[in-house]
Structure formats: structure tokens, C-alpha cells
Amino acid sequence: MKTLHLSIIVVACIGVASVILNFASYHPTPITKENNFGINALVVHQHIGIGCPTENCPYPEHYLKINSKFHGEFLVGYNICDENSCVKKDGIAISLPVVDVLHPDYQKLQLPDNLPWKDGDSVNIQVKVLNGFISDSAFTLDPSHDPKIWVDLGKSEIVRSS
């Protein structure tokens, strides 16, 4: 009888633990691999010393270069990972420039210093964008009230700055 009670307690604990783990890992923002937003992004590696004569260079070593095919797209977060490390940013609201073949324009976002990534390394880029947006009376973006979606842009190779 004690074994039966002990078995029931163990099964109940495992069940409760799995429910808690499921809720803890739940991510309320949906993720899609379909890039209906027309977003282009890549990570650029700028070698220290290029355009910087001093040792304490104010330019970032890595940055995210991003734009969109459509007007009105806002970047509100990103998640860039290789097999060993990740760079994550959330809670931003950056209007993305539109792709223009004659006059290319990109938003450049500085990534943290001391990343172990090198030219040619493969990273996975996910960006969080607004799925439509709302402006208040001052015409500023309030990303806390808008539906957001993660767009998985897939694998990208880190390129050297030209």
C-alpha cells in the first residue's frame, strides 16, 4: 500500500513539474519562417583598425545590418545565435529603411563587443517585428500595444566590412 501511495505521489510530482516546465518555456510571441515582411538582415564584422587609428576604437566590431521591402516595418527585437553564443535585444522600436536598388539604405545596429564570431561563421538570425503598428497623438510608436511576431530569417554567414 505504501508503494502505491509513493508511486502516485511520484507520478503526480512528475505531472506537475512537466506542466510548470511547459508554462515556463512558453513564448507568447509567435515565430514564423515565412518572411512576409520582406526583411533582409546580416551580421557584419568590422575588423579593428579599419577606419580606426587608435586602440580604443569607438566603432563596433560587429553590427546587424537590416532593412525591409515594405514601408512602416518596425524592429522591436532580435536574437542572433551561433552554436555557442547568442546576442538578444528586446524592447526596442526602430523603423526599418526600405530597400531601394538605386539608393541602398540599411539600419546598422551595434552588437556587443567581444563576440567570438569571425568572418564566414554561420549564425541564425531571428527578428521581432510589429504586425501592424499604432501611433499615439504625438505620432510616436508604442510597441507595448501592438501584436508582434518573430521572423526566423534562418542561417546567415558573417561578412567582412568593406
For 39-98, the pLDDT digits (tens) are: 999 999 987 655 566 666 666 789 999 999 988 889 999 999 999 999 999 999 999 999
**21 falls within a domain:** no
Question: Residue 44's closest CA among 94, 109, 101, 96?
Answer: 109
SS3 92: strand
H or E, element range at 18: helix 2-25
**85 falls within a domain:** yes
**42 falls within a domain:** yes
**98 falls within a domain:** yes
The range of the structural domain enclosing residue 53 comes to 30-160
**For 98-131, what is each residue's pLDDT tens digit?**
988 788 789 999 999 889 999 999 999 999 998 6
**3 falls within a domain:** no
Q: Quickly count: other Cβ atoms within 10 Å of residue 6's Cβ.
A: 10
**9 falls within a domain:** no
- Count of domains for the chain: 1
Residue 110 β-bridge partners: 63
Q: What is the pTM of this model?
A: 0.71
What is the rounded CA–CA span in Å between residue 102 and residue 97?
Answer: 14
CB 161 within 8 Å of CB 45: yes
**39 falls within a domain:** yes
**1 falls within a domain:** no
What is the rounded CA–CA span in Å between residue 118 and residue 134?
Answer: 39
Residue 115 belongs to domain with CATH number = 2.60.40
Residue 139 β-bridge partners: none
